[in-house]
Amino acid sequence: MTTLESSPERTAGRRPGALGVSVARKEDERLLRGDGQFTDDVDPARVLYMAVARCPYPHARIVRVDTSAAERLEGVQHVLSGPEVQRLSEPLGVLRPVPGAPRLPYYALAQDVATHEGQPVVSIVATSRHLAEDALELVDVEYQPLPHVVDVLAALEPDAPVLHPSVLGSNLLASNSDGRGDPAARFAEADVVVEGRFRIGRVTALPMETRGVVAQWRPGARELTVHCSTQVPHLIRKQLAESLRLRESEVRAIASDVGGGFGLKLGVFPEDVLACLHAMALHRPVKWSEDRGEHFRASTHGRESVHDYRIAADADGRILAMTDVYATDIGGWNSPFGSAQLSSVVFNGPYKVEDGYTERRVTLTNKTPVGAYRGYGQPEVNFAYERLMDRLARRLRMDPVELRARNMLKPADLPWVNPAGAVYDSGDYERCLRMAAERIGWAEHRAAPRRPRADGRLVGIGFSSFVERTGYASSRFLAKRGSQFGAHESITLRANRSGGIDAYTGVSTIGQSSETAFAQLVAEVFGTDYDAVTVHVGDTAASPLNTGSFASRTMIAAAGAIREASEQLARKTLRLAAFRLEVQPEELEIAGPLVRHRTEPGVAVPLAEVYSAAITGQGIPPGEDPGLEATSHFEPSDAAYSFGTAAALVAVDPETGEFGVERFVLVHDAGTVVNPKIVDGQVRGALAQGFGAALTEELRYDAETGQLVNGSMVDYFPPTAADLPPVELLHTEVPSPVTPFGIRGVGEVGTIPPGAAIANAICEALADHGVELDSLPVTPEKVWRALTSDKGVEQW
Amino acid sequence: MNVEVETMVNGKLVHASVPARLHVADFLRQHLGLTGTHVGCEQGSCGMCTVMVDGEAVKSCLMLACQLDGRHVRTVESLAEDDRLSPLQQAFKEEHALQCGFCSPGFLMTATALAYQGKRPCRAEIREEIAGVLCRCTGYENVVTAIERWFAEHPQGAREDETADGARTA
Ligand code: FES
Ligand code: FES
């Protein structure tokens, strides 16, 4: 198996902890001892527990709420229902609004109408969680069920029940488009047109730690301390302050360890506001830990969209135009983080297309809101265009690898502006494609395809090439979209008298190894030992204002801030040391625990002494300020695009449709790599989620009742250790010109190509049977149906 | 309704009076402050709450605290010795077998129970054996590698570890 980690030339002769070395993680010691501090582990004295009554219908008017019996139960301390919440708080904020969408007033508890199953209706605080949950049974709510719609396309029909009639005349929350050139003219003159409707299932991020919050209010100090499981502490602080009508300085948000986020833990959720309202009313700490059943219905979902995609090409396989008109399901409300808009940004994938058009229709349905989920729109559109690339190849009787290569942007074409206005920075897309084809054995397979094996199975190989936007554009760009956040990261570095550096960051520890990677960069730029750097995360009271961990953006943006702050700190350190050693600063360098003379071995001073001198102000040059601390903020000039190609080898039983992914190759470019082990780990983890969404994961709603029918871990199937296909990872390293050190993001890439690569492999194996797959997840049943029915199947 | 329980947890005798409906995971976390045992589903599906009871890996959300009476429990907190991670934990660290780390106690205790029972699983068997614990971050590859490496490098250590705190039934 090839991984970044295993290429020895990368790391030869480098210091432990230096940039590019797989140093052991800072996070691991506490987590392996069971000494992490996840939100549910926070247990203040006199804490009370919250439980939430939720609407059992997809759409219902709340006629009457009677909480008197619940209030009488012994141990119950406080009850909130809709009107009180409206009186005490503002609607929840939306961090990343859908452009052009009206604001739907989403209060922490439903007001007159609930628009999805699981929407909070009443919340109760009691002396134990058991009692709070007992009290839920005593809450009497009279609902008048209203007509519902759970299918995204049905929701757009003129006769569909409208979810928010006081704000909107239909369920189209917003629609908008991007385009360039004259795609209609290109389609008219094309030799070949392929098109299809592709459906991508609704999934859940399913972090192993559910959401949770612990709120404490000190009225005299006007200080609300909120521990919560979030990827964005500073943004939570802002949103909570707004909802609770507090000043930002009155709120402190702390996210200690976070048991996975994957985009779900962005933004503020109703329960966060509710716990704070109770705590403020009671002057006692209030804790809520989401149970898994609630998680399935009340935390945002991911994906779900329908893409009508078209490609026009000439007889040589040159693509003339690509268009994607798609509907994404956003569920019952504006979610904290909008919906899958990124599909449009990368809709043409890695292919050079001057004429293109993309249009999105963000649609309301009576389901749990859809928010960000790892990859955020990119796996969806990749499935559509990569399925069609294979179909185009078949129409033209071309090798699908050659077809892709012919249309890919070449290094010389980059930077390049795509029809949606995205600027692809740099890369060698074709190299990844060729490497994947070579590794999977495409040439040999292509020479003799579709001969049944001894076990009767047919083997197919499928490819999926992609670009992935990593980072979050610029704050200027975001301002135009109404985003409530910017694009920068920040860091504070502070020397201490033990000879170490404390680094303070507002990102939380969600598994992406920021503590480790940040310390590596500080050590690299400043010159001290990795072990001398301690990273403190996720406390808004201690860290400079930042953006947070999402969109594979943390490292890209933070690297610039870390470099700047480390250099500042190093410059002052050298000046102070030079004063002590009576030499010039330029003659000195920082090396591990010392500042030493570059050429005279005997001349050196321990860092700890320099730090002490700075902190006490005793023994520093006249005119120099005491203290040794630096804060920097950095915004990358633009997003950096990761890219790559995946190849899947799949064996299919043409009788039953049952199949197995026998090999999966991913060739990927993340630019300059800070820590190869972490990069491999991120890619593998995302791939597992990609395989889940490609093969087994789908949240299903019953059209008749509007109920989520598989809202538990007993009947929703994320992959286990026994389920995953073997993965071969290969990397290239083309530095990005738009980010510090040339880093590209890595967090989401693995979610993008599995669906298309696996479906393409199955369709290739079953090409003689005319099988087409057009929806995710791909299941044996779907393959069998495609084999046995010719309805809706295009014959080649 | 409360029930009296007497149990050995990580080598220490514990007497407690607990609600009859309290499950073991909550007992460990809330009553004993052993928060290394995590809760992810409370229905036996995710494996976050896995601990060792009388030498077997048990999903502690599926067992009531009162059922611990007379039994030996080991949680993740028992693995490291003072300042030193156990060889199993060390293997996890070296192989990058965790990201957010929420699942790690479940895997560590599952592997510990395998060793306790004298099993020496091969790579494919490890995959099957740990399939009761979900991980949403790592894609499992490194978890399997870490456990495989631990079995290879510490065939004895694994056993000795188990007996050290009297976890064997008396
Ligand atoms: S919490 Fe026990 S198995 Fe999930
Ligand atoms: S490391 Fe996050 S769930 Fe396993």
Q: What is the 3-state secondary structure (H, E, C) of A97-123?
A: CCCCCCCCCCCCCCCCEECCCCCEEEE
Provide the shortest C-alpha distance from residue A727 to chain B (in Å).
9
Q: Which two tokens stand for residue A93?
A: 């904020």
Given this model, what pLDDT does residue B6 score? 97
Q: What is the pTM of this model?
A: 0.94
A199 has which bridge partners?
Answer: A306, A775
Question: What tens digit of pLDDT does each residue of B83-95 get?
Answer: 899 999 999 999 9
Average pLDDT, chain A: 93
Question: What tens digit of pLDDT does each residue of A493-503 get?
Answer: 999 999 999 99
Q: What is the mean pLDDT of residues A286-296?
A: 97
Number of the ligand closest to the Cα of A292: 1
Given this model, what pLDDT does residue A613 score? 96
Alpha-carbon distance of A484 to A273, in angstroms, equals 18
Q: What is the mean pLDDT of residues A591-611?
A: 95
Question: How large a percentage of chain A has pLDDT more than 70?
Answer: 96
| pLDDT for A199 beyond 60 | yes
Comparing CB atoms, the residue among A34, A210, A712 nearest residue B35 is A34
| pLDDT for A100 beyond 50 | yes
Sign of the CA dihedral running A639, A640, A644, A646: negative
Given this model, what pLDDT does residue A415 score? 96
Given this model, what pLDDT does residue A511 score? 87
Ligand 2, pocket-test mutation among B38, B50, B100, B144, most atoms within 8 A of CB: B100
Q: Which domains does chain A have, with CATH numbers?
A: 39-146+211-289 (3.90.1170.50), 301-474+637-788 (3.30.365.10), 488-634 (3.30.365.10)
Give the CA count within 13 Å in the CB-facing half-sphere of A632. Answer: 19
Q: What is the mean pLDDT of residues A621-626?
A: 93
Q: Which two tokens stand for residue B131?
A: 């399939």
Given this model, what pLDDT does residue A92 score? 92
Alpha-carbon distance of A432 to A689, in angstroms, equals 22
Per-residue pLDDT band for A93 (boundaries 50, 70, 90) equals: confident
Cβ of B124: how many Cβ atoms within 10 Å? 10
Q: Which two tokens stand for residue A721?
A: 């250790």
Given this model, what pLDDT does residue A10 score? 43
Are A469 and A746 spatial neighbours (Cβ–Cβ below 8 Å)? no
Alpha-carbon distance of B170 to A228, in angstroms, equals 42
Chain B residues 37-66 with a CB less than 8 Å from chain A = 37-43, 45-46, 48
Q: Cβ–Cβ of A720/B134 closer than 8 Å?
A: yes
Given this model, what pLDDT does residue B158 score? 52
Fold (CATH) for B80-153: DNA polymerase; domain 1 (1.10.150)
Question: What tens digit of pLDDT does each residue of A164-186 get?
Answer: 999 999 999 999 999 999 999 99
3-state SS of A541-563?
Answer: CCCCCCCCCCCCCHHHHHHHHHH
Tokens 């730090």 sit on residue: A611
B-chain residues near A688 (CB < 8 A):
135-136, 138-140
Q: Which two tokens stand for residue A188?
A: 């008219």
Residues whose CB is less than 8 angstroms from the CB of residue A214 and which lie 6 or more positions away in sequence, other chains included:
A39, A42, A44, A47, A226, A227, A228, A275, A285, A286, A287, A288
| pLDDT for A9 beyond 50 | no
Q: What is the mean pLDDT of residues A591-615?
A: 95
| pLDDT for A308 beyond 60 | yes
Give the nearest ligand 2 atom to B104 CA: 4
Q: Cβ–Cβ of A28/B98 closer than 8 Å?
A: yes
Given this model, what pLDDT does residue B166 score? 45
Give ipTM to 2 decimals.
Answer: 0.95
Residues whose CB is less than 8 angstroms from the CB of residue B42 and which lie 6 or more positions away in sequence, other chains included:
A291, A292, B23, B25, B61
Alpha-carbon distance of A574 to A591, in angstroms, equals 11
Helix (H) / strand (E) element for A319: namely strand A319-331
| pLDDT for A337 beyond 80 | no
Report residue A355: phi and psi, to 5°.
-110, 115
B-chain residues near A510 (CB < 8 A):
100
Q: What is the mean pLDDT of residues B135-145?
A: 97
Alpha-carbon distance of A90 to A105, in angstroms, equals 9
| pLDDT for B167 beyond 50 | no
Cβ of A319: how many Cβ atoms within 10 Å? 25
Question: What tens digit of pLDDT does each residue of A723-739 get?
Answer: 999 999 999 999 999 98
Ligand 1, pocket-test mutation among B23, B42, B64, B133, most atoms within 8 A of CB: B42
Nearest to A560 by CA among A634, A491, A503: A634
Cβ of A314: how many Cβ atoms within 10 Å? 14
Given this model, what pLDDT does residue B164 score? 45
| pLDDT for A397 beyond 80 | yes
Alpha-carbon distance of B167 to A571, in angstroms, equals 56
| pLDDT for A7 beyond 90 | no
Question: What tens digit of pLDDT does each residue of A219-256 get?
Answer: 999 999 999 999 999 999 999 999 999 999 999 999 98
Question: What tens digit of pLDDT does each residue of A340-363 get?
Answer: 678 999 999 999 999 999 999 999
Cβ of B55: how many Cβ atoms within 10 Å? 17
Domain positions in chain B are 2-77, 80-153
Give the nearest ligand 1 atom to B47 CA: 3
Question: What tens digit of pLDDT does each residue of A123-175 get?
Answer: 999 999 999 999 999 999 999 999 999 999 999 999 999 999 999 999 999 99
Per-residue pLDDT band for B169 (boundaries 50, 70, 90) equals: very low
Q: Which of A6, A32, A674, A679 has the highest number of chain B CBs within 10 A, making it the mutation to test binding with B?
A: A32
A363 has which bridge partners?
Answer: A172, A329
Given this model, what pLDDT does residue A21 score? 77
Given this model, what pLDDT does residue B82 score? 83
Comparing CB atoms, the residue among B41, B102, B131 nearest residue A721 is B131
Per-residue pLDDT band for B165 (boundaries 50, 70, 90) equals: very low
Are A258 and A229 spatial neighbours (Cβ–Cβ below 8 Å)? yes
Q: Prior bond to A777 cis, omega within 30?
A: yes
Strands A120-126 and A640-652: unpaired
Question: What tens digit of pLDDT does each residue of A445-503 get?
Answer: 999 888 899 999 999 999 999 999 987 767 777 777 777 777 788 999 999 999 999 99
Burial class (CB in 10 A: 0-12, 13-18, 19+), A205: buried
Residue A174's SS3 state is strand
Q: What is the mean pLDDT of residues B129-145?
A: 97
> Which CATH architecture is the domain B2-77 placed in?
Roll (3.10)
Cβ of A312: how many Cβ atoms within 10 Å? 26
Per-residue pLDDT band for A551 (boundaries 50, 70, 90) equals: low
DSSP per residue, A756-777: HHHHHHHHHHTGGGT----EES
Tell me the residue length of chain A: 796
Question: What tens digit of pLDDT does each residue of A278-289 get?
Answer: 999 999 999 999
